[in-house]
Each structure stands twice: as C-alpha cells, then as structure tokens.
A and B are shown apart, each in its own frame.
Chain A
C-alpha cells in the first residue's frame, strides 16, 4: 500500500498475556517511530528506529515493552505480561530523516487489556 499499515487494528487481550503489534512503513522510509496514545491524551514517544543505527528506546515505559525492526522495514512492538494500564492506541509512523522529518502515521492499533 501507499501508506503506513498497522495490524491488527483492534486487539483485546487478557491481563498477563503477551501481544505483538505490527507496523509496515512506507517503502524506502528509513525512520520509524512508535507512539502510545491514551484516551484523550497526547502522543507518548516509545521508540525510534533510524536506518542501521541503534534504536532510541528512551520512551519505553518498562522492560515489558520491546520492539524490533527487521531488514530496515517491518517493525514489531511486543508487550509482555500486559497490564490494564497498557490499554491505549499504539501508533506507528515512518519518514525520511535528515534534519526535518515529516512523519506519516498509520491508523493505529487499539489495544484493550481486560
């Protein structure tokens, strides 16, 4: 597709289960971001991948959260032992870096932990 694609669009999981959220960035974009958005709130930075550089993981809220990006393209955000406070919309964005990044966002994955 032409835009950033995220899957699943909705995910309901039981507390304590692990979940994987997927992001397919726009082809050729070397920058990839993950954000978390709670209801009615702003976007909380989680992690940033830039080409082959080590990712900026400074926004990950706990060691239950991890992300990887395979082959410089698809990224997976994994949340282990989910808690109710993990419920939020998880947004992925990609872009061309270089001093000014116009990040293109996907529709997000709405995660509900019950």
Chain B
C-alpha cells in the first residue's frame, strides 16, 4: 500500500545552521509532494510542494529536493531560526488530491 516515512524522528540543529529533513516514499504514482510544518497546539501549515516532474524547488529559506530514482524527498531550511522549531511532515498527493502524511520529524533548534 501507500506509505510515506521519515528517516529520523528528531533532528537537533544549531541556530544559524542549515537543516535537512529527509523523507522516503513508496508510491511512485504520486503526482506531488508537500512539506508541512506543525507547531505545538496548532494544525499543520503548508510550507512548499513539488510536482513529481521536478527535482528541485525553492522558496523563501526553504528548498525541496526530489529524487525519484530512490524515492527520496528532502526539505532544506537555510539559516535555521528558533521559530523553525516544529514537527515537519512530508506528504504525498495523487491525481485524486487525497493527501497522505508521513510520521513527522521534530526539529529542535539549539541556541
């Protein structure tokens, strides 16, 4: 069946350094992949997405990379700030727009 998983449940990064959060997926038929950020007590918030026919997309301080050969997705956050502390979820969407989430990675920013 479909599954979206994450390599590491917790990631600790020094403030100012770059963060890289990884995700593995198994459904090669997915049309697009999405990263969400969830702060404590809040619902997930959309960060960035990427279509399956792309391998890189950049936003403000974030870059998503897609490697379809190994079914791997990553989120890079530049110059990590305390406000980046959250749980990050990767998710995948298909032509039917049903969005399936992975388990999440907690990003902890060290002062």
Contacts and interface: CB of A to CB of B under 8 A. Distances in A.
For A42, A93, A102, which residue has the most chain B Cβ atoms within 10 angstroms?
Answer: A42
Given A42-B103, A106-B43, A108-B43, A100 B31 contact: yes
Nearest to A95: B97
B97 A43 contact: no
B25 interface: no
A101 B99 contact: yes
Q: How large is the interface on B (under 10, 10 to 19, 20 to 34, 35 or more residues)?
A: 20 to 34
Interface string A95-106: 101111111111
Given A100-B49, A106-B43, A56 B95 contact: no
A100 B104 contact: no
Interface residues of A, number: 27
Nearest to A103: B99
A91 interface: yes
Given A104-B46, A106-B43, A108-B43, A45 B95 contact: no
A85 B17 CA distance: 40
Given A33-B99, A101-B93, A43 B44 contact: yes
